[in-house]
Structure 1
């Protein structure tokens, strides 16, 4: 492709990112797949970020710079997307490090699988000294999500592609409305819209992205990335998909996760028919106006969506096995939501 029509447009918003900017930019300009442009939107930086960016742009004509007042990540991403000239959109954060093979392997996946609308890749949180056990568990879960089938099973649990690793077909992103701000995570919002529109997603299994962990990260400080916001996003799109037409739900799990999911569902007008518990001590109780049932009794109820709402992966897997053995179909009759 020509310089005016690169294969990939990399979207990189940044605000006050001077501390780690050079590492991130260096990892981009040394990619072995080099047919791309980097569209950097400086979202109101005050720390010298712009001067650093100008130096990088003067050395590499693939880097295009834009400035805006502080408007937030969604507006910055949409500014970048409006300037993109390529048929594929990649994401990069200004404090992360991309393996030099990342774009090459993601490009190869989409070329080999033309029905896949986008992909992420494996990630590794760093620096190790500040990465907590919870982040490592999420990292391990994320890296286990590889095929389209994995993504379809995981999509109601968490965002199954790491945002800074997105590599998406631009026409698909445009067709579902691009990045939107609804007061919850913009990446999860986009992925759920793509999923409900029937688009296939996957991950390159290789760990190709170092994802910087720090207490100042937007996902640690902004209310839009709190667990409650993820839950609202999840339930909103469940109502447009598996829970459409005011379908009721049966919540598997009467612990904190199940109770939170049930409250959110009720807030969206979804009826909670029952909770399901394996613990005989909880059976017979009532939570949020719904009875707590045993497995056999719950499986006699036909029509509602069964939602596995437990925090532990092993418990979730056991519930999924029980539902499959009962003849229920994942994605139609039941979903895992935590």
Structure 2
């Protein structure tokens, strides 16, 4: 279909300081056949007034109220109200690159169904210096996108930027859309994209500008804290990857591996816990003794979860090349 209608789904929660800039970036898109479905999530600032003002000036902008609370329900409402055959998301505090919609539409129309289109992202801040962690994440994520290799690192971090993807509506509905009960909801959707057998096709252009500031939801909401990530990883690992006929090994004895071990124990999953850190070998945590990695056989009957944040203790995997490896950090 030539020039398909794109529905932009955008939850809005107290975004007034940045909303005009966001909406201007949408209105000024080079691709013209779009509709913005903005759902006001009980904002207590002037967000609703700004949305109504833009709605009155552009018939492509439609404003609704969230009848419950939270981003997931806001996204459900936006999807229900959408009319487009292509669906994308936007964050109310970010900025679209001028060609964002055009580039994503071109990718999807070239590859038809079964694909998720994405592009490069760039963090920016007008209030402070960018955190090195965000810059490293940007570099890592963009490198994956340039090579259409996003899903190769699925268990490490969220590999599809939440406000920079586009799907055929039929594909989104097929994988359950926003029927999520797990946070972070964007990471949950990314897992469902992968296990729904969608393929990634990426643009080599910077399509989305991601704003960082102190009150950003991912910084202040517990649903997006580092503690939430192990839960969603273990949920999908157990659901789709765990093989009861193979030995499961967790490699690492730091904070992240402890969180993973605790979740496996809670889910009654049997595993061996190993490390190459001599200070941790022999210790017992959560009733499990941490073993020396050099005394464990790792072969093609092994599933190996690597959860080591420190560069000093990254494992030599020459002995584990035949096993299934899942990098959790």
Identify whether the pair has TM-score above 0.5, normalized to the shorter chain.
yes
Closer, same or farther in 2 for the Cα pair 1:76/1:246, shift >3 Å? farther
Shift of 1:202: 4.2
C-alpha distance in structure 2 between counterparts of 1:70 and 1:18, whole Å: 21
Q: TM (normalized to structure 2)?
A: 0.89
Shift of 1:183: 4.5
1:322 is the counterpart of 2:322: no
| 1:245-256 matched pairs, under 5 angstroms | 245=244, 249-256=248-255
Closer, same or farther in 2 for the Cα pair 1:289/1:115, shift >3 Å? farther
Closer, same or farther in 2 for the Cα pair 1:147/1:303, shift >3 Å? farther
Deviates more, 1:161-170 or 1:242-251: 242-251
1:113 aligned residue (102, 111, 114): 111
Partner of 2:174: 175
Unaligned runs of 5+ in 2: none
Shift of 1:18: 1.8
Closer, same or farther in 2 for the Cα pair 1:53/1:246, shift >3 Å? farther
| 1:43-82 matched pairs, under 5 angstroms | 43-69=41-67, 71-82=69-80
Shift of 1:203: 3.5
C-alpha distance in structure 1 between counterparts of 2:245 and 2:227, whole Å: 22
2:114 and 2:197 in contact (8 A); partners too: no
Aligned-residue Cα RMSD (Å) equals 2.6
1:298 is the counterpart of 2:296: yes
Partner of 1:9: 7
C-alpha distance in structure 2 between counterparts of 1:196 and 1:247, whole Å: 21
Partner of 1:337: 328
Query: Secondary structure in 1 aligned to 2:145?
Result: coil
Partner of 2:213: 214
Closer, same or farther in 2 for the Cα pair 1:6/1:153, shift >3 Å? closer
* CA-to-aligned-CA distance 1:245-300 (integer Å, 9 cap, x gap): 596521122222222221122222222223132x4454444444444444453344
Deviates more, 1:179-188 or 1:73-82: 179-188
Closer, same or farther in 2 for the Cα pair 1:149/1:211, shift >3 Å? closer
Closer, same or farther in 2 for the Cα pair 1:160/1:202, shift >3 Å? farther
Partner of 2:195: 196
C-alpha distance in structure 2 between counterparts of 1:201 and 1:219, whole Å: 24
Deviates more, 1:279-288 or 1:38-47: 279-288
1:127 is the counterpart of 2:125: yes
Shift of 1:21: 0.9
Closer, same or farther in 2 for the Cα pair 1:190/1:237, shift >3 Å? same
Shift of 1:41: 0.8
1:106 and 1:119 in contact (8 A); partners too: yes
* CA-to-aligned-CA distance 1:3-52 (integer Å, 9 cap, x gap): xx952110011022221111001101111122211111111223222222
C-alpha distance in structure 1 between counterparts of 2:326 and 2:157, whole Å: 12
Deviates more, 1:303-312 or 1:154-163: 303-312
Closer, same or farther in 2 for the Cα pair 1:135/1:29, shift >3 Å? same
C-alpha distance in structure 2 between counterparts of 1:149 and 1:73, whole Å: 28
C-alpha distance in structure 1 between counterparts of 2:195 and 2:186, whole Å: 14
| 1:205-244 matched pairs, under 5 angstroms | 205-243=204-242
2:38 aligned residue (37, 40, 43): 40
Unaligned runs of 5+ in 1: none
1:247 and 1:270 in contact (8 A); partners too: no
